[in-house]
Amino acid sequence: MKHLSKCKRGSVFAWVTITVAVFIVGLLYMILTQPVIEIQKATNSTLNDEDYASTYNSVIMVWKYWPLIMLLGLIIVGIIISIRKEPYTNFQ
């Protein structure tokens, strides 16, 4: 079996780390979504002030979309790590 070169080992490590991070983020999101939904149901009817309602709606929107933003960021980081030249020499 042929060993990976130093350039490929860094990319493989990065993608394995990204895969583990995506799994952990997905697991946390699935576990914590139910309590967030219950809190949302309990507090949604008590918001009378528009300023508080606006902040509350912003927090709920962030909760809905942060996994997608993190996933996109991790994929971009993975691509950048995969295509960069290692070691950091001979850039001309």
1 domain-assigned: no
Domain, as residue range, for 23:
11-83
Does residue 68 fall inside a structural domain?
yes
Q: What is the pTM of this model?
A: 0.68
If one counts the domains in the chain, the total is 1
Helix, strand, coil shares of the chain as percentages rounded to 5?
80, 0, 20
Domain membership flag for residue 91? no
- Judge whether 89 lies within some domain: no
- 14: closest CA among 78, 88, 80? 78
Whether 67 is in a domain gets the answer yes
The sign of the dihedral angle between the CA atoms of 83, 84, 85, 91 is positive
5 inside domain: no
Least confident of 23-27, 42-46, 77-81: 42-46
> Does residue 6 fall inside a structural domain?
no
Instruction: Determine, yes or no, domain membership for 79.
Output: yes
pLDDT recorded at residue 1: 46
Per-residue model confidence as pLDDT tens digits over 48-91: 777 777 888 888 888 889 999 999 999 999 888 888 766 655 55
